[in-house]
């Protein structure tokens, strides 16, 4: 049965949301569109606009840059599902949604996981092999370094530390198996939830930092994880180690990282996500030679974006049918507790 569905906008995923809206319209649903705030601001609809956008909406299709407050979830009388076209659901409190009987699904497609895993291994190898330094030497017409002056090391035989053990981290581990790394250390608060094949060793964060030649972050940004790699943690890393963050901005103290890269305390870093996006022109990491910087796009592929549209449409269908979404943001979601929707307003 056709219903009313709200579809937002986004300065990154606008094309995806446009295509989702078109597909839902073809299925006979009434699609209400909402604008996006200009980058880098997140979109938060004022209360005066709630009746227009959410007064009759049974599902809202949005991105992680659209804020859905607990107050909005409580107010929206018919809302029973939030479908994120993005993999992140950071702009919504999942516990609050669950308590209100609202199912949340997201774009955690295989193409998303695989693209980020491939990008992470690429960056780990590039940093270990001193790619930023070698590019700089060519660009500046510098002479080839003498063999004894090389600092590049093989990823093979090294120790790689992964902070977090979610789906992307596990895809990284699977790919590292072919690189003959000596060991993979994993720091997670739930080591018993997922078991990986050897040579994975679960340990605490301090041990991981002290023993790893390369560290990669794979955490969501929450109140508990914000600043998880601060000045003290950077100083616990092995001298000359490298750091990769393709996860979330805000996990790393970027000023402290820039200082340790500038002094040579750490050899190199690859950063794809930043505290502030777009990255300011005067950001301290921009002026360094031993960094690879990309703007929240390193693992993005055409395959990924093509997967998000049918996935979001499928999620909407599942929510309306009272079925479990293919990719629930809360793995323990129970569709039998979903919000009862009034027949008329």
Enzyme catalytic residues: 248, 277, 296
The tokens for 15 are 């094309």
What residues form DSSP beta bridges with 104?
82
Q: Of 188, 181, 189, which is closest to residue 212 (Cα–Cα)?
A: 181
Side-chain-side CA neighbours of 317 within 13 Å: the count stands at 13
For residue 227, give the DSSP letter.
T
What residues form DSSP beta bridges with 31?
5
CA 116 to chain centre: 9
Strands (E) located in the chain = 4-7, 30-33, 57-62, 81-84, 103-105, 159-163, 183-187, 200-203, 214-217, 242-245, 268-271, 291-293
User: 307 and 111 in contact (C-beta within 8 Å)?
Assistant: yes
DSSP annotation string for 134-184: HHHHHHTTPPPPPGGG-----STT-EEEEE--SHHHHHHHHHHGGGT-SEE
């Amino acid at each position: 049965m056709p219903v009313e569905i709200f579809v937002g906008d986004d300065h990154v995923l606008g094309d995806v949301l446009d295509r989702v809206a078109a597909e839902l319209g073809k299925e006979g649903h009434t699609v209400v569109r909402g604008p996006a705030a200009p980058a880098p601001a997140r979109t938060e609809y004022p209360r005066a606009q709630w009746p227009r956008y959410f007064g009759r909406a049974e599902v809202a299709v949005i991105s992680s840059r659209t804020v859905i407050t607990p107050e909005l979830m409580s107010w929206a009388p018919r809302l029973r599902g939030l479908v994120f076209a993005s993999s992140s659901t950071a702009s919504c409190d999942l516990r609050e949604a669950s308590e209100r009987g609202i199912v949340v699904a997201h774009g955690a497609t295989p193409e998303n996981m695989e693209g980020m895993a491939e990008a992470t291994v690429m960056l780990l190898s590039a940093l270990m092999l001193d790619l930023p330094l070698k590019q700089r030497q060519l660009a500046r017409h510098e002479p080839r370094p003498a063999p004894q002056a090389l600092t590049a090391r093989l990823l093979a035989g090294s120790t790689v530390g992964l902070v977090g053990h979610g789906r992307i981290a596990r895809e990284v581990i699977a790919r590292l198996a072919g690189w003959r790394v000596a060991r993979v250390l994993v720091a997670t608060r739930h080591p018993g939830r997922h078991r990986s094949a050897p040579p994975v060793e679960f340990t605490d964060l301090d041990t991981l930092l002290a023993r790893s030649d390369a560290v990669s972050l794979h955490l969501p940004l929450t109140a508990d994880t914000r600043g998880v790699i601060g000045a003290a943690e950077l100083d616990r890393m092995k001298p000359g180690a490298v750091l990769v963050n393709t996860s979330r901005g805000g996990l790393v103290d970027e000023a402290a990282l820039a200082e340790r890269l500038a002094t040579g305390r750490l050899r190199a870093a690859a950063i794809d996500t930043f505290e502030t996006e777009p990255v300011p022109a005067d950001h301290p990491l921009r002026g360094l030679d031993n960094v690879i910087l990309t703007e929240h796009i390193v693992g993005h592929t055409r395959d990924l974006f093509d997967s998000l549209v049918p996935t979001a449409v499928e999620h909407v269908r599942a929510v309306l049918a009272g079925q479990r979404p293919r990719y629930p943001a809360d793995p323990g979601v129970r569709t039998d507790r979903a919000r009862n929707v009034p027949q008329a307003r």
